[in-house]
Amino acid sequence: MLEAAGFPLHGFTTRHGGVSAPPYDTLNLGLAVGDDPDAVAENHRRLERHVGLDAAILSARQVHGTAIALAADLARERPDRRELPAVEADGIVCADPREAVGVRTADCAAILLAEPRSRLVAAVHAGWRGAAGGVVAAGVAALVSHGASLEGILAAIGPCICGRCYEVGDDVASLFPDAARPSPEARGKHLLDLPLAVELALRAAGLHARNIDRADACTRCNGSDFFSHRGSGVTGRNMGFICGGVR
């Protein structure tokens, strides 16, 4: 859908195509998980080359919060642009079609937002904590505050942990009355459908259902294709990224 709307430069990575050794094999895009920094840098270069991006993907230090950064501020912060440790944000809005922004995940959801008229884009990171805190609405609001029309915002929810394998306790389940259900197997446990929770948050923020796309892939069920924190513990990071430009 983003492609058809004029945003060809976006995607969600798998764990294939990189140079990292186990347990980060192979396309680990996270610097803070213990992998060799040279391998991570090479993985980023491979991704940028493969997609045809002119600049490195801007990303911030993710803290399961609701802060949304502006790409122009991140670009000023550090020349190498990747995983800027000084900036804590779980979403980045980008108004410059020469820049790409991304978020790292390993079971959490990466959400890409784009609005064709303003050409504004954003990448947002949401696990249960961020979703419950309102990071999805914060990402949409940030796009609108920079000039996007709410009516026109398109969203793509990337591969993330699914509603059959995301076991949570009462406390977390109670935060998602419409997206959690009692576990049929574990007494007192619940299963949280994170992609559904994100979709409901996007709808509540004012997006049309027809403007929301969901990848039909679970990171944990497909551990050979995606990094999964719940599945593997110490592991690499997938990335969802988007650029407002065209090739």
Options 87, 132, 165, 200; binder of Zn ion; rule CB under 5 A: 165
162 binds Zn ion (CB under 5 A): yes
Stretch that binds Zn ion, among 15-23, 137-145, 194-202, 220-228 (CB under 5 A): 220-228
Nearest CB to Zn ion, comparing residues 101 and 162:
162
Residues 6+ apart with CB under 8 A from 105: 125, 158, 160, 219, 227, 237, 238, 239, 240
Evaluate whether 145 touches 122 at the Cβ level (below 8 Å): no
How many C-beta atoms surround the C-beta of residue 54 within 10 A?
12
Options 144, 218, 239, 243; binder of Zn ion; rule CB under 5 A: 218
| 64: three-class secondary structure by DSSP | coil
Number of residues that bind Zn ion (CB under 5 A): 5
Options 220, 228, 242, 244; binder of Zn ion; rule CB under 5 A: 220
Evaluate whether 160 touches 218 at the Cβ level (below 8 Å): yes
Task: Compute the distance between CA of residue 124 and CA of residue 110 in angstroms, rounded to an integer.
Answer: 6
Nearest CB to Zn ion, comparing residues 196 and 221:
221
| 180: three-class secondary structure by DSSP | strand
Task: Compute the distance between CA of residue 93 and CA of residue 1 in angstroms, rounded to an integer.
Answer: 19
55 binds Zn ion (CB under 5 A): no
Nearest CB to Zn ion, comparing residues 130 and 195:
195
Nearest CB to Zn ion, comparing residues 79 and 233:
233
Task: Compute the distance between CA of residue 41 and CA of residue 187 in angstroms, rounded to an integer.
Answer: 44
Closest CA to 108 of 205, 19, 3, 237: 237
Nearest CB to Zn ion, comparing residues 7 and 176:
176
Task: Tell me the DSSP string of 41-59.
Answer: HHHHHHHHHHHT-SSPEE-
Nearest CB to Zn ion, comparing residues 37 and 233:
233
Cβ-closest position to Zn ion: 218
Options 78, 215, 221, 232; binder of Zn ion; rule CB under 5 A: 221
Evaluate whether 107 touches 161 at the Cβ level (below 8 Å): yes
Place of tokens 């980060």: 24
Nearest CB to Zn ion, comparing residues 115 and 193:
193
CB of residue 234 to Zn ion, shortest distance in Å: 20
108 binds Zn ion (CB under 5 A): no
Residues 122-161: x/- map of binding to Zn ion (CB under 5 A)? ----------------------------------------
State which amino acid sits at residue 130.
Answer: G
CB of residue 1 to Zn ion, shortest distance in Å: 23
Task: Compute the distance between CA of residue 37 and CA of residue 25 in angstroms, rounded to an integer.
Answer: 13
User: Where on the chain is the footprint of Zn ion (CB under 5 A)?
Assistant: 162, 165, 218, 220-221
